[in-house]
A and B are shown apart, each in its own frame.
Chain A
Amino acid sequence: MVWFLIRRLLLVIPTLIGVAVAVFFLIRVMPGDVVVVKLRADGAAVSEETIQAERRRLGLDKPLYQQFADYMVGLTRLDLGKSLWTGDSVAREIAIRIPVSFQIALMATIIAVLIALPLGTISALYRDTWIDHSVRVLAVSGLAIPSFWLGMLIILALLSLFNWLPKIGYVSIFEDPLTNLSALIWPAISVGYRYAAVSTRMMRSALLEVMREDYIRTARAKGVWTSLIMRRHALRNALLPVVTVIGLEFAFLIGGLVVTEQVFNINGIGKLFVDATARGDFNLIQGLVLFIATIFIFVNLLVDILYAWLDPRIRLS
């Protein structure tokens, strides 16, 4: 187990270097110059000299290999550089936005699991009845509806039904839980719905698969009652593929947040990502991609550990 963790953590390093290199060159293919956007965005007549001076100040005048070298050297010191737009350190820009996005992601995951496990189980148990059909319609809708659109519907519904909108501006959950939750629950639902839908479908099909297994027949032949068969014999086996899906979907969750945070006007990682891209803030984009890649890697590691915990046949070595 310890060896497994050490090996996996060591593997993170080459993966991240790969990501860093790819991102560095890919975003430089993108059109748009942060300096031009910054200084001339509002149509201001800024002289070419000023722009060149600004480029020099930001180090954008150096040849590409030089910039790349500086970037990679910075990475070895865990220095992601400075935002080309605000001049603040990239790490700080990201760090101040982590709490809100992380909370939404966590709430979405909790919502997804809380919906998916019972709904998927019920759906499998009452296969081909109206219950199953309703659950499946709900799940397919979840896959079909984009989360930002659902977010807009939610805002419209809140406005027209209650004439109320969540407060703009982030309040930590530790300061004022009620305000915090009443603001963040809506984006969490709008990205969590899709997440729940995918997981519900997986839960249903995994459980149906497991219920056909020989060991379930053995359990029935032993005289175990149905609810105990579900709890003890079926669920744990069915959770294996569900856990995989939950882990993989976490990546989509972040993708979903990018637009949804715009809809709810939440100043989180997603919104930062959109802004950075619009401004051509290369350093910030690089930092964000690395950050998200790291999250993705660790979620997958977590999935593997969960796997081993669920299934004794899988040994982490």
Chain B
Amino acid sequence: MKNEVVPSLGNRAFAEPAAAAVAGRLLPPVLEIDDLHVQFSTSHGTVRAVEGLSYSVHPGEMVAIVGESGSGKSVSALAVMRLLPPGTARIPAGRVRFDGKELLQLSEEEMRRIRGREIAMIFQEPMTSLNPVLRIGLQIMEPLTIHLNMDERAARARAIELLTLVGITDPDSRLDQYPHQLSGGMRQRVMIAIGLACNPKLLIADEPTTALDVTIQAQILELMKDLSRRLGIAVIIITHNLGIVARYADRVNVMYAARLAESGTAERVFSRPLHPYARGLLAAVPRLDRGRSAKLATIEGAPPNLLAPPEGCRFRPRCKFAIDKCHEVPPFVAVEPGHVVSCHRASEVEELDRLPGQAATAARAAKANGADVILDIKHASKFFPIRSGLFGRQRMIRAVNDVTLDARRGETLGLVGESGCGKSTLGRLVLRLDDPTAGEIRFENVDLARLKRSQMVAVRKRMQVIFQDPYSSLNPRMTVGQIIAEPMRVHEVLPKPQVAGRVAELLQLVGLFPYMALRYPHELSGGQRQRVGIARALAVNPNVIVCDEAVSALDVSIQGQVINLLEDLQHKLGLTYLFIAHDLAVVRHISSKVAVMYLGRIVEYAPADTLFSSPKHPYTQALLAAAPIPDPVIERARPRRIISGELPSPLKPPVGCVFHPRCPLATEDCKKAVPATRELGPSHMVACIHA
């Protein structure tokens, strides 16, 4: 313990004078966290969730806390609010000074008066963060009546004002609605309105947009940035998304395994990351502004278990540059004004990183071009009937509407779109988990919709799927070996005695070890589980794999590893992927062709580099504009055009072009007819009359 307190004292000595020198930080800080420690007692021992964390936040500033799951970023924020679970969590050391008060010393009642009044907090899940049985109005008015003693009428007037401020139209009637009547984006706006109700000095936003689509994410973050500027509110934003940090944050604190690794202004940390972890993280993120030429650099291994963390530098076991000295906890070093790093080799890391040749820029040229078409989707549609009321007329949800796509052997067809656009349904049609309402889905020149069940079994062997959630898609009562062997058993691809050998082979192929066959899924990390999912898909030697958000649930450093694995496997085994995802950068990185889907229709379809460098459909353009790039220099120069509005209900899709209500280019003609798909360039299909 003792040797861990010393370096963070060092942090204060270095960081504060340095920080004060940064322009715009002349006002005294509103929040100062100093040497904060948080521990959880569990049945397995003590988890040191936060260790020696120090940082400060100044008025009007947006400070980002970045880190992977379990790095302690959310726990430290809850510690500031004193909202940690009382039974298990402990704060053995640290000071949290807020506006002249020492928060950790306050009584519960004194702290309660600060919560919601002076410090407000917004949480990740807008779907579950509002009380489902109470009206929106009551929930917004609650802090007003509690902290400001407003009466019903005054509070209601202020609530209307707040809803207008956060961009909700028709605020008066919204107050009487319940949370389930609002969309996710709207609920997050309501959460912000609740946060802003009493004009707090500090707003803590814990992954505020992680559950939201990219266009809605941009709307929410723009709103927060704007409000913070206009009202002079300091904002702490906790996120794992480096693009968000680059676009919005003034300062960044990078956390790794309960400790601060690097801290500085966004520009400096992004342009000159000095902690090997921060460098690795930035290299591991697929970027929208880069093509698919290079393989992703990855950080090998996984974050340590905080029950028994490695001594010394927490990153040492994964660090390329680790030396003996790293067995001691590194102190914070101010490498330049306002930029501190906790690494023994901070001064040499740039030099070291240059030495080994950049990861092989493998020639991954479009060798698929000559190959035959393996998956051919022609005018496929899937309508789901829903009935309302006893004698209500039957209505249709057009989940997939007249989609035409194809994939050649050995290439990756990317499918992007926001939630509810129908991309997963299309994936299910390809696997024939659902039957198409109309159209053809040809796999190796056979129309799947015409096959009988028995014939489908043979096809299923050649077509596999990898799901999003590595936690719920593996049976917890089966060992890894049984999980991987199951498809082999079902399809009888191998004689029984050879199965165990094949399982071991597959485990090695996906970068795991044969002994793991005896483990159960809960003993593995998220990344390892996803590898098991991949091994299971490979077990029957498929030709096509549908990857439905296969890397979305993984942390950045793990995500890079899995993407590389998928690419390696594609090269080795000649696999074809249908890669369904909402993360545009990941799709750009992995796909050779990309289709953009909106409300059941493909609006644009082109080779990946063409689509991302010269998007033609206004929706594609809007998606790209909304997705932040992890580079503050680019982000700050980029004009910001955020489209307004949300995805309409698929029950009542707009007539004509489905995108016209949100489209900046929309004219009267757009409402008249569904635009035909036109070929603008070589294999560049666009469904827009203005493109």
By a beta-carbon cutoff of 8 Å, the part of chain A in contact with chain B is: 3, 7, 213-215, 217-225, 228, 232-233, 236-237, 310-313, 317
Instruction: Give B134-159 as 1s and 0s: 1 = Cβ < 8 Å from A's Cβ atoms.
Output: 10000000110011000000000000
| Distance between A13 CB and nearest chain B CB, rounded to angstroms | 16
Q: Which residue of B lies closest to A235 (CB)?
A: B133
Instruction: Give B368-400 as 1s and 0s: 1 = Cβ < 8 Å from A's Cβ atoms.
Output: 000000000000000000001110000000000
By a beta-carbon cutoff of 8 Å, the part of chain B in contact with chain A is: 81, 83, 112-117, 120-121, 123, 125, 128-134, 142-143, 146-147, 178, 180, 191, 194, 388-390
Other A-B pairs beyond A220-B115, A228-B146, 19, CB < 8 Å:
A7-B390, A213-B128, A214-B125, A215-B128, A215-B131, A218-B129, A218-B130, A221-B120, A221-B123, A222-B115, A222-B116, A222-B146, A223-B112, A223-B113, A223-B116, A224-B116, A236-B134, A312-B132, A312-B178
In Å, the complex CA distance between A245 and B449 comes to 46
| Distance between A245 CB and nearest chain B CB, rounded to angstroms | 18
Out of A3, A221, A224, A236, name the residue touching B146 (CB < 8 Å).
Answer: A224
A3 and B134 contacting across the interface, CB-CB below 8 Å: no
| Distance between B174 CB and nearest chain A CB, rounded to angstroms | 14
- Most central of A217, A222, A225, A233 by chain B CB within 10 Å: A222
In Å, the complex CA distance between A225 and B146 comes to 9
Out of B131, B143, B389, name the residue touching A223 (CB < 8 Å).
Answer: B143
- Most central of A217, A221, A237, A317 by chain B CB within 10 Å: A221
- Chain A residues, Cβ within 8 Å of B114: 223
B143 and A222 contacting across the interface, CB-CB below 8 Å: yes
In Å, the complex CA distance between A242 and B479 comes to 38
B389 and A3 contacting across the interface, CB-CB below 8 Å: yes
7 closest A-B pairs by CB: A223-B116, A222-B116, A223-B115, A214-B128, A215-B131, A221-B121, A312-B178
A233 and B131 contacting across the interface, CB-CB below 8 Å: yes
A221 and B116 contacting across the interface, CB-CB below 8 Å: yes
17 A–B pairs (Cβ distance < 8 Å), ordered by A: A3-B390, A213-B128, A215-B130, A215-B131, A218-B191, A218-B194, A220-B83, A220-B115, A221-B115, A222-B120, A222-B142, A223-B112, A223-B114, A225-B112, A232-B134, A237-B131, A312-B178
Q: Which residue of B lies closest to A213 (CB)?
A: B128
Q: Which residue of B lies closest to A311 (CB)?
A: B133
- Chain A residues, Cβ within 8 Å of B128: 213-215
In Å, the complex CA distance between A214 and B125 comes to 8
Out of A214, A224, A312, name the residue touching B142 (CB < 8 Å).
Answer: A224
- Chain A residues, Cβ within 8 Å of B130: 215, 218
In Å, the complex CA distance between A219 and B147 comes to 13
| Distance between B78 CB and nearest chain A CB, rounded to angstroms | 9
Out of B117, B123, B133, B178, name the residue touching A310 (CB < 8 Å).
Answer: B133
Q: Which residue of B lies closest to A3 (CB)?
A: B390
| Distance between B205 CB and nearest chain A CB, rounded to angstroms | 12
A312 and B180 contacting across the interface, CB-CB below 8 Å: yes
A214 and B123 contacting across the interface, CB-CB below 8 Å: yes
A222 and B194 contacting across the interface, CB-CB below 8 Å: yes
- Chain B residues, Cβ within 8 Å of A232: 134
A217 and B146 contacting across the interface, CB-CB below 8 Å: no
In Å, the complex CA distance between A268 and B312 comes to 78
Q: Which residue of A lies closest to B388 (CB)?
A: A317
In Å, the complex CA distance between A232 and B142 comes to 11
A223 and B134 contacting across the interface, CB-CB below 8 Å: no
- Chain A residues, Cβ within 8 Å of B81: 221
B129 and A214 contacting across the interface, CB-CB below 8 Å: yes
- Chain A residues, Cβ within 8 Å of B115: 220-223
- Chain A residues, Cβ within 8 Å of B147: 223
Q: Which residue of B lies closest to A237 (CB)?
A: B133
- Chain A residues, Cβ within 8 Å of B388: 317
A313 and B180 contacting across the interface, CB-CB below 8 Å: yes
- Chain A residues, Cβ within 8 Å of B117: 223
- Chain A residues, Cβ within 8 Å of B134: 232-233, 236
- Chain A residues, Cβ within 8 Å of B390: 3, 7
In Å, the complex CA distance between A223 and B119 comes to 10
- Chain B residues, Cβ within 8 Å of A310: 133
A221 and B132 contacting across the interface, CB-CB below 8 Å: no
| Distance between B646 CB and nearest chain A CB, rounded to angstroms | 20
- Chain A residues, Cβ within 8 Å of B83: 217, 220-221
- Chain B residues, Cβ within 8 Å of A236: 133-134
Q: Which residue of A lies closest to B111 (CB)?
A: A223
B133 and A312 contacting across the interface, CB-CB below 8 Å: yes
Whether A215 touches B116, Cβ cut-off 8 Å, given contacts A7-B390, A224-B146, A312-B178, is: no
| Distance between A138 CB and nearest chain B CB, rounded to angstroms | 23
Out of A3, A217, A237, name the residue touching B123 (CB < 8 Å).
Answer: A217
In Å, the complex CA distance between A121 and B388 comes to 39
- Chain B residues, Cβ within 8 Å of A218: 123, 129-131, 191, 194
| Distance between A279 CB and nearest chain B CB, rounded to angstroms | 45
| Distance between B192 CB and nearest chain A CB, rounded to angstroms | 12
Q: Which residue of A lies closest to B124 (CB)?
A: A214
In Å, the complex CA distance between A228 and B322 comes to 53
| Distance between A243 CB and nearest chain B CB, rounded to angstroms | 13
In Å, the complex CA distance between A214 and B388 comes to 32
- Chain A residues, Cβ within 8 Å of B142: 219, 222, 224
A311 and B132 contacting across the interface, CB-CB below 8 Å: yes
Whether A313 touches B389, Cβ cut-off 8 Å, given contacts A218-B123, A223-B114, is: no
- Chain B residues, Cβ within 8 Å of A233: 131, 134
- Chain B residues, Cβ within 8 Å of A311: 132-133
- Chain B residues, Cβ within 8 Å of A224: 116, 142-143, 146
